[in-house]
């Protein structure tokens, strides 16, 4: 039997240790009575549209490190429906006006912003100031300045900010990222990538530019992510073209955006983000082989193959995996997989793409 030797504490050591425990309990957001950490983080969904209703809420029934603790909605009928379906207590149900009082609710550790992009900045900042960690759906914001403000407020309040790029949590995506990083098939030469579906709702925010609508912000970000991650590098310039085939629906937002990214070393990526064509694929030509993913950014069933073999890592639920991994990172005080800086990188390029389409010229990406 092992014997433990206990060294007596001096009064000074005892006081120092006690002060350390008190300090840790004050500054750790996951401490509860007696200094015991939470086993699961409570998440409040802000905005109860399709993505929250059909994907995030069901996913939160499968998560191990977090759970659905609360909701924020401007529609009383939705609040009542969710309350009954998920057994959410009244004290964890908020609207957009009383949202800031969420600061006083220890049940909620993370606020997940699932609103139109034009509202992301406001609610990320309000959540961070309320002392809550933040998950924010893509696209992160309307412009780089908004991204910078969001990142700063989260850092100032010592809160984590994660962008909802579920695909980066998908092992199929991680495989083509690995191939690029390790140069397993040599250097990347040419990338072709497209993501899109046919949007026909004339009254939806996705066709309203002022709300962050448009093909590039919505589906184009997937194609942009596919190109960047497959290249394993950041683009240095871009050319672009916007196509509108249904002006009665796309009155001020882009329906289809084609863009070509130039990377260091001569790598080129031809990409499309679309609200007019259903498409989802990624093809990469290396100097020692090829890779093809179809689909590459769907909610389920992403798979493909390369010269090295099949790429098919089934994922039970992307959203559950994303939220579980981000929640665990927060509990362990580790960096989240996709921080705000990653979302801002995409927005900087999106702005350059719109500029290139408007001017008809190549635009450098700073």
- Higher pLDDT: 346 or 35? It is 346
Judged against a pLDDT cut of 80, whether residue 178 lies above it is answered with yes
263 close to 365: Cβ distance less than 8 angstroms = no
* DSSP state letter for 308: T
Average pLDDT, the chain: 92
Q: How confident is the model at residue 21 (pLDDT cuts 50, 70, 90)?
A: very low
Hunting for tokens 């695909």 — which residue is that?
167
Q: Give the H or E element holding residue 191.
A: strand 188-196
pLDDT of residue 28: 42
Are 350 and 194 in contact by the 8 Å Cβ rule? The answer is: no
* Helices 340-359, 221-231: inter-axial angle, 10-degree rounding: 110
Q: What span, in angstroms and rounded, lies between the C-alpha atoms of 190 and 284?
A: 6
Least confident of 18-32, 165-179, 265-279: 18-32
Calculate what percentage of the chain has a pLDDT beyond 70.
90
- pLDDT of 206 over the 70 cut: yes
Rounded Cα gap, residues 25 and 31, in angstroms: 6
Take residue 211 and report the two structure tokens written for it. 């709300």
Place of tokens 């001020």: 252
Catalytic sites, residue numbers: 138, 222
Give 273's strand partners.
195, 257
Residue 38's pLDDT band, with cuts at 50, 70 and 90, is: confident
- Pairing type for strands 93-94 and 66-72 reads parallel
Q: What is the pTM of this model?
A: 0.89
Question: Is 80 exceeded by the pLDDT of residue 35?
Answer: no
pLDDT band for 58, please (50, 70, 90 cuts).
very high
């Amino acid at each position: 039997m092992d014997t433990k030797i206990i060294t007596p504490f001096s009064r000074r050591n005892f006081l120092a240790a006690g002060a350390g425990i008190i300090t840790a309990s004050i500054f750790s957001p996951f401490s509860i009575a007696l200094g015991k950490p939470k086993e699961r983080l409570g998440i409040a969904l802000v905005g109860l549209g399709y993505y929250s209703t059909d994907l995030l809420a069901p996913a939160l029934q499968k998560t191990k490190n977090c759970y659905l603790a609360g909701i924020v909605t401007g529609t009383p009928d939705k609040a009542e429906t969710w309350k009954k379906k998920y057994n959410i207590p009244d004290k964890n149900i908020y609207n957009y006006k009383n949202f800031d009082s969420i600061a006083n609710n220890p049940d909620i550790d993370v606020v997940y912003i699932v609103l139109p992009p034009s509202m992301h900045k406001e609610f990320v900042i309000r959540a961070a100031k309320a002392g809550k960690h933040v998950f924010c759906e893509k696209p992160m914001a309307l412009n780089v300045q908004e991204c910078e403000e969001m990142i700063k407020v989260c850092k100032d309040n010592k809160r984590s900010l994660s962008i909802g790029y579920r695909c980066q949590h998908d092992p199929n995506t991680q495989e083509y990222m690995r191939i690029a990083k390790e140069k397993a098939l040599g250097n990347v030469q040419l990338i072709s990538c497209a993501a899109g579906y046919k949007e026909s709702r004339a009254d939806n925010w996705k066709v309203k530019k002022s709300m962050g609508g448009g093909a590039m912000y919505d589906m184009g970000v997937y194609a942009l992510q596919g190109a960047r991650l497959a290249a394993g590098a950041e683009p240095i310039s871009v050319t672009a073209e916007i196509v509108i085939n249904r002006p009665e629906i796309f009155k001020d937002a882009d329906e289809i955006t084609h863009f070509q990214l130039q990377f260091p070393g001569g790598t080129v990526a031809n990409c499309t983000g679309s609200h007019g064509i259903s498409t989802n694929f990624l093809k990469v030509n290396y100097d020692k082989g090829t890779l093809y993913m179809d689909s590459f950014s769907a909610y389920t069933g992403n798979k493909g193959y390369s010269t090295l073999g099949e790429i098919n890592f089934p994922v039970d639920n992307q959203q559950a995996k994303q939220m579980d991994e981000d929640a665990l990172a927060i509990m362990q005080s580790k960096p989240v997989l996709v921080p705000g800086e990653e979302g801002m990188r995409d927005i900087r390029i999106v702005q350059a793409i719109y500029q290139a389409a408007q001017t008809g010229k190549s635009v450098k990406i700073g």
